[in-house]
Structures are given as C-alpha cells and as structure tokens.
C-alpha cells in the first residue's frame, strides 16, 4: 500500500494514483444535478475506476447501479454490496457463462444483466442459467454507430429478442445502445449529430419490439461525452457515464457546451524525480513512472504544472524536459501527472490514494483491477 | 487462474498470456549458445517477464542472476530463490531506500545491487543500509546514449565512485552502461555504431576509475537488440537481455544479422471471438481483449494468422476485419495475437499459461506484476 490514512501527500510512495476528493465530490454532484430534471436513471460505468468504494459513493449519490464489461469484473462489485450490475458486453465461452450464471446464483437479491447480439449465444446463456438454477436480465445490444458488436437493425433486434424472451431463465429488459466512439468526437455538433442518429435507431428498435409484443422497458447507453444528449432524447431512460468522476486528457480535448456541467480532473499520478540532469541536450528530470504506471494509448500522461514537457516514456520512466517557467523539480520531488486515458491507467494500479488538502483521507483498493475474464 | 495443468489450449479462459514452451526453450538455449565463447556473464532482465519461474529457468540455463527495475520488483525474485539481483535503476525516496535495504537485510546470502547517478542519493542509500545494518553492491550508471538517467562522462563517474567507495555499507562494483534506445534501431549498422560509441565511453570511464584506484570489476549493459555487440566489445563483461525469451512485434521489426541467433515469438495472447458481423462496413470479428490485455505503446497486438487486420482497439475489445484468405473466425473461436511490446503487456496479467503441443504444461504466476514501487 503506497500510503496510510493521515499521511501527507508528499509522503505517499510512488508511482501512485491520487484522487483529489474535493474535485471528485464536485464531479459526482454535478452529474446528478445535470440530469435531475430528466427522466433517466444514472448507471455509471465502473470499467473506468474498478473500485467498489467509488461505486458505493455513486450509488449513495443516487445512481441506480453500475455497469461493468466482464463477468469477472462484476464479482467484486456484487460482493461489495452493489446490488444492480449490468455487464454492458457480450459474454461468450462456457467458462465465462458458468462464472456469470454462478454470480447470479450467488447473489440472488441482486439484479444482474448482460448483453447479447447472437441467438446461439443467447441460448448458451440460458443453458448456463438453467444449470446454475438462476435467471438473468438480458439486453439486446444494438449497434448505434460504433461498428463493433451489436445487431445492426430493428428487425434483427426483434428476431433476437424473440429468442431471449422464449427462454424461461432470461428476462428481456430492453436495449443496450451505447455509441462509444461518439464520446470522443471533439465538436459539440458532431457528438449531438451522432446521438441524434443513435436515438432514432434506438427508437425504431424499441417501437419494433413493442409492436411485436416484446418488452423493452430500458434503453441504456451514453457516456461522459454525450450523456445529456441521451438524457434529453426522449428515447434513452438510462445513462452510463464513467469517466466523469475521474476525467482524463482525452476527454479534456472535447469542446464543451457551456451549459453542460464541467467535470474537473480529479485523478493524478504522483511520481518521484529519480534522476536530474542539465547538459547540452536538455534540462531534464526523469520520473519513476512509465508504461507500467499509465497507458499511452491516447497519448502520454502529462505534467499537471507548467514549464515542462514529456520528452520520452519507457517501461518505468518518463523523461521531462524544461521548456519554460515552472517548478524547479529537484531530485526526490514528487510531481503530479495527468493521465491520458483513465480506464487502462487505473487498471495498472492496486490502490487509489484519496487526498483532501494534501492529506490522505482514505486508501481505496482497485478491486476489479485485472478482471479481464 | 485461466487454466489448469492438462487443459487443452482451446479450453484456456481468455484473454490469457500463452507461452509456447518449445519456442521458449529454443530462445533460452540460443542465447546461451551465442555467448558461450565470450567472457561475459548473462544477467537477463526480468522486467520483461516478471516471473520467478522464468528466472529460475534462466539461472538453470547458466545465467549469473537477473536484473530488475524497482526495489519492489526485486522482492519476489529474492523470495523465490534467485540469489543475485541487480536493480538497474536509481532508487530515490526514503520509503524506497528503506525497502531496498530491508531486502538486503532479509536475504543476507543473496547479492543485491543498485545503480546511482547522484552523490546525495548515494549517501542516502548508505544511510538506509546503515540503519538496516546491511550492505549493498553499487554500480555507477553511465549515460552511454539513451539520455535519460546516469552520469555523463568519466570524470563525473570517478567523482561519484569516490563517494560510493567511501561508504562502508556500499561496495562499488562497476558501471551500469545500458543503451536502451539502441535496442530498437532498425538497421544492424545503427545498432553496431551505437554500441561501439557506448563501449568507447564505458572503456574511458572504467580506465578513469582504475587510474583513480577505484574498483570497476563489472561493466554491465546490453539488451536483445545489441547484446552480441556488448559481448564482443572487450569492455562489457555482463549482458542484460530480457525480451529474447518471449519476443514481440517491435523487436521483430529489427533487421537481423544472419550470424546472430534467431529468437522466435514465444509469447501470445489467447482471445475469444465474442461478436461476429458481416455487413456493408466490414466482415469483422470482435475479440475479448483490448487495452487491458495488451499495451499499444509500440503498436497494437496483431493476429498471429493471415487474412485479418486490426480495425480498432478499445478498453476491452479488439475489432479484426477480414482483408484476405485466412481462418473463418466463428463466435467462440480462440485466435492468438502477438503482442506489440511485451514488458507492459505481461505486467497486465496475473498468469502465464505455459503450453506444449496445445496442452497446458504449467501455469506460472507473474509474481512481480504491478511491482511499481
């Protein structure tokens, strides 16, 4: 564990994930305030934080439950008392289905849901539930533009929904209609247009299910980049933002509508200056955090302070070089970085150190770290 | 655990790291054969595999010990019976120094070494050893071209070596002279030239230390891309290759000298096809492995088979699309991917499944996974 409650921030071992609790609390409140007037449930995505304590705080603030991406990821949240968990993903393979059905059997008071986009897979899910003597909520995944998984049109949704609805161990709940890539489109107009098209397709699919006499109580989707478009669509009645609570550099690149809530960067990576050099090549500080402390898929983590830029990142190091006025950075100093993309970054750490006024208030376990199965 | 001994490869849960033991054994033997005629010790770098069982096999094949990058990374290897561990990195910070000195005290029969590039840091290391009533081997890190950490010239090496040599709890062993970025220069000539320059600088520093009456018994460095240049330099007497045993797409891009040993790809990522679609956009298969199952810093993991290319990678998914003749990839199939860069990829997994002839022979723990402190 990199820190104990009461430690000063400067005494936390590095590299460590740091949550600024004031900013975290503000993000939590702002999301709930932003959707307070709309008829949507909030089901935050826990794939970004993987932390039961954060999920508990989201539920305490009014969330209906959480989303996860994997059967193995659902387990620590159910065990930690989160009673409504939706796996927003297909689960394929006998071992995985047995694990998922086993969770439903082990937590009978909880609501557990999963997505399907294939009739054969739905039948295997039903068989796994039968064998575990349990049942499961099921959502038809509709591909609303991401072009990854999901059925492509209302007719296919109806055909698959009939198969699901005919299985006694499966309860058809509605549609998973998440447009992942729309979250990161930079302009407001692009994001609005994407969710407008997604909403139209989801509405058609919902109407087709209802016309066919099939239940479709829930249309769920939406992330940090678009959630207010889903919330005001008249179609979606549940939203799934995840990144809003911690934030990252990639989301910070989105142009924001001033009428939307501002989510502040609340997650940082605390590092230590482990080597310091000034020579003909550069004035540089080498930090003790690299590719094993943050993901670079959306760009490197960057200094949370001026005057320095990232010269290079390797497995265990980030080299900063001075490019202007900023802090001195002496050997042993502990600068903060801002992660480029939180989901794969948080997954690298076992602990999140929750800090207020430069004091450690709590240390949270990343319970679902590495839950890839 | 994704598999049990005796399982068929097709029954391993996914995503999972798979080692092909025949290729692994061949890589292990080829490295030792390649340097058999040269007066160099082999000290493989364990930052790439983080696995005590692999280190044991390397030592059994003739390695003198291993390298690691972090004090916390040294611990599982020492506890696992590896008796010669060099931290090829600076360790800065009171908690880290106490941890490192604590390891030296806890494993008095083992040889434990660390690098320094700053006199003040060396004094703090000595104090930590004094407080733990132990001693430590120390190497002066010489920057031979990577421009990250390390002292820059022979005079600085001598000045720092004097400080180290004056500390009763520190034993000056020699020079750490690793040229990281040279490993990935694509042409043979570029790599040869880089190590030629590094060797000249290391020789000057060694001669300066010896002239000053300081010990310099070991010059250590070299990786998978250059190790034979160091081994034949007449200066280096220890090499530190790590990737050779598992390999990755980045190293595969290096042009190879046919007289060098050929290291085969022995590490793969087993995945499951969790969604399958053919539509106007593409003929695509979505796999259950994404940014939390492999690192993309050196490019995405790629299919280990023809006819398919990576269309996109997200947190939990890789979308493949068909571009030519290749396997059909039905729902539930388990294709193998080749990692782009092994070090941060292995660090994402808790287990390595060791397979021979499509049967699980052993399941190895990634003991130092997440050992970032």
Helix (H) or strand (E) holding A204: helix A188-211
Contact A70 B316 (CB under 8 A): yes
pLDDT for B59 equals 98
Residue A332 covered by a domain: no
Q: Which residues of B touch A288 (CB under 8 A)?
A: 92
Residue B226 covered by a domain: yes
Which residue segment(s) compose the domain that A153 sits in?
83-241
Residue B299 covered by a domain: no
Contact by Cβ (8 Å): B176, B208: no
A280 pLDDT above the threshold of 90: no
The two three-digit tokens of residue A60, written as one number? 């305490």
ipTM over 0.85: yes
Tell me how far apart the alpha carbons of residues A339 and A250 are, in angstroms, rounded to a whole number.
9
pTM value?
0.97
pLDDT tens digit sequence for A204-258: 999 999 999 999 999 999 999 999 999 999 999 999 999 999 999 999 999 999 9
Q: Which residues of A touch B274 (CB under 8 A)?
A: 89-93, 149
pLDDT tens digit sequence for A10-29: 999 999 999 999 999 999 99
Using alpha carbons, select from A94, A82, A39 the residue that is nearest to residue A58. Answer: A82
pLDDT for A4 equals 97
Contact A2 B373 (CB under 8 A): yes
Strands A16-20 and A267-270: antiparallel
pLDDT tens digit sequence for A29-69: 999 999 999 999 999 999 999 999 999 999 999 999 999 99
Confidence of residue B310 (pLDDT cuts 50, 70, 90): very high
* CATH number of the structural domain spanning residue B94: 3.20.20.10
> How much of chain A, in percent, has pLDDT values that exceed 70?
100
pLDDT for A282 equals 85
Task: List beta partners, residue B220.
Answer: B176, B238
Q: Name the H helices within B240-314.
A: 249-252
Residue A124 covered by a domain: yes
Residue A110 covered by a domain: yes
Residue B324 covered by a domain: no
Say which of A275, A344, A347 has its CB closest to residue B149: A275
Task: List beta partners, residue B267.
Answer: B19
Say which of B282, B314, B370 has its CB closest to residue A350: B370
Residue B60: CB atoms within 10 Å: 9
pLDDT for A203 equals 98
pLDDT for B177 equals 98
A279 pLDDT above the threshold of 90: no
Task: List beta partners, residue B338.
Answer: B302
Compute the CA torsion angle B288, B292, B294, B298 (nearest 10 deg).
130
Helix (H) or strand (E) holding B107: none
Q: Which residues of B touch A372 (CB under 8 A)?
A: 15, 289, 292-293, 316, 348-349
Contact B13 A317 (CB under 8 A): no
Say which DSSP state A119 is in. Answer: H
Residue B208 covered by a domain: yes
Confidence of residue A138 (pLDDT cuts 50, 70, 90): very high
Confidence of residue B320 (pLDDT cuts 50, 70, 90): very high
Handedness of CA A225, A228, A234, A239 (dihedral sign): positive
Tell me how far apart the alpha carbons of residues B277 and B286 are, in angstroms, rounded to a whole number.
8
A348 pLDDT above the threshold of 90: yes
CB contact burial B178-216 (16+ within 10 A = b; e otherwise): bbbebbbbeebeebbebbeebbebbbbbbebbeebebeb
pLDDT tens digit sequence for B120-172: 999 999 999 999 999 999 999 999 999 999 999 999 999 999 999 999 999 99
Helix (H) or strand (E) holding A252: helix A249-252
What is the count of residue pairs from A and B with beta carbons less than 8 Å apart? 166
Tell me how far apart the alpha carbons of residues A339 and A122 are, in angstroms, rounded to a whole number.
38
Chain B: nearest CA to A358, how far in angstroms?
A: 18
C-alpha distance across the termini of chain B, in Å: 25
Percentages of chain B per state (helix, strand, coil), in multiples of 5: 30, 25, 45
> How much of chain B, in percent, has pLDDT values that exceed 70?
100
Tell me how far apart the alpha carbons of residues A37 and A43 are, in angstroms, rounded to a whole number.
16
Task: Give the gyration radius of chain A's Cα atoms.
Answer: 22
Give me chain B's average pLDDT, please.
Answer: 97
Say which of B91, B315, B332 has its CB closest to residue A344: B315
Angle at A320 between CA B138 and CA B142, to 5 degrees: 30
Tell me how far apart the alpha carbons of residues A349 and A363 are, in angstroms, rounded to a whole number.
12
Handedness of CA A34, A40, A45, A49 (dihedral sign): positive
pLDDT for B165 equals 98
Name the residue of chain B whose CA is nearest to A342's CA: B315
Residue A108 covered by a domain: yes
pLDDT tens digit sequence for A108-135: 999 999 999 999 999 999 999 999 999 9
Handedness of CA A309, A313, A316, A319 (dihedral sign): negative
Q: Please give the tally of structural domains in chain A.
A: 1
Say which of A275, A344, A372 has its CB closest to residue B117: A275
- Taking CA atoms, B190 is separated from B183, B185, B186, B195, B223, in Å, by 10, 6, 7, 9, 15
Tell me how far apart the alpha carbons of residues A349 and A5 are, in angstroms, rounded to a whole number.
18
pLDDT for B247 equals 98
Burial class (CB in 10 A: 0-12, 13-18, 19+), B247: buried
A139 pLDDT above the threshold of 90: yes
């Amino acid at each position: 564990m990199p820190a104990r409650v009461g430690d000063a921030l400067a005494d936390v071992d590095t590299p460590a994930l740091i949550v600024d609790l004031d900013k975290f609390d503000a993000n939590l409140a702002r999301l709930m305030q932003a959707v307070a007037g709309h008829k949507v449930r909030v089901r935050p995505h826990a794939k970004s934080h993987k932390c039961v304590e954060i999920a508990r705080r989201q539920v305490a603030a009014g969330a209906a439950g959480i989303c996860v991406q994997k059967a193995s990821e659902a387990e620590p949240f159910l065990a930690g008392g989160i009673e409504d968990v939706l796996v927003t993903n297909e689960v394929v393979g006998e071992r995985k289905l047995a694990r998922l059905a086993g969770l439903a059997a082990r937590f009978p008071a909880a609501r557990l849901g999963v997505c399907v986009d294939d009739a054969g897979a739905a039948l295997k899910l039903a068989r796994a539930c039968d064998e575990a003597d349990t049942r499961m909520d099921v959502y038809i995944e509709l591909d609303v533009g991401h072009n990854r998984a999901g059925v492509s049109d209302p007719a296919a949704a109806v055909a698959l929904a009939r198969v699901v609805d005919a299985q006694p161990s499966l309860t058809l709940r509605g549609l998973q209609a998440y447009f992942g890539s729309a979250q990161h489109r930079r302009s407001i107009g692009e994001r609005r247009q994407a969710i407008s098209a997604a909403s139209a397709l989801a509405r058609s699919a919902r109407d087709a299910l209802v016309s066919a006499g099939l239940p479709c109580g829930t249309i769920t989707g939406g992330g940090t980049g678009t959630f207010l478009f889903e919330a005001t669509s008249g179609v979606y009645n549940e939203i799934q933002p995840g990144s809003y609570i911690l934030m990252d550099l990639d989301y910070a690149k989105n142009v924001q509508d001033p009428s939307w809530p501002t989510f502040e960067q609340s997650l940082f990576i605390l590092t230590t200056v482990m080597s310091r050099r000034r020579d003909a090549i550069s004035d540089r500080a080498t930090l003790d955090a690299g590719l094993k402390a943050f993901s670079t898929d959306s760009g490197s983590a960057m200094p949370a302070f001026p005057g320095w830029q990232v010269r290079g990142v390797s497995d265990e190091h980030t080299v900063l070089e001075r490019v202007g006025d900023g802090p001195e950075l002496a050997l042993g100093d502990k600068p903060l970085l801002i992660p480029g993309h939180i989901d794969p970054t948080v997954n690298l750490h076992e602990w999140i150190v929750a800090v207020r006024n430069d004091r450690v208030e709590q240390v949270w376990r990343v319970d679902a770290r590495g839950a890839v199965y």
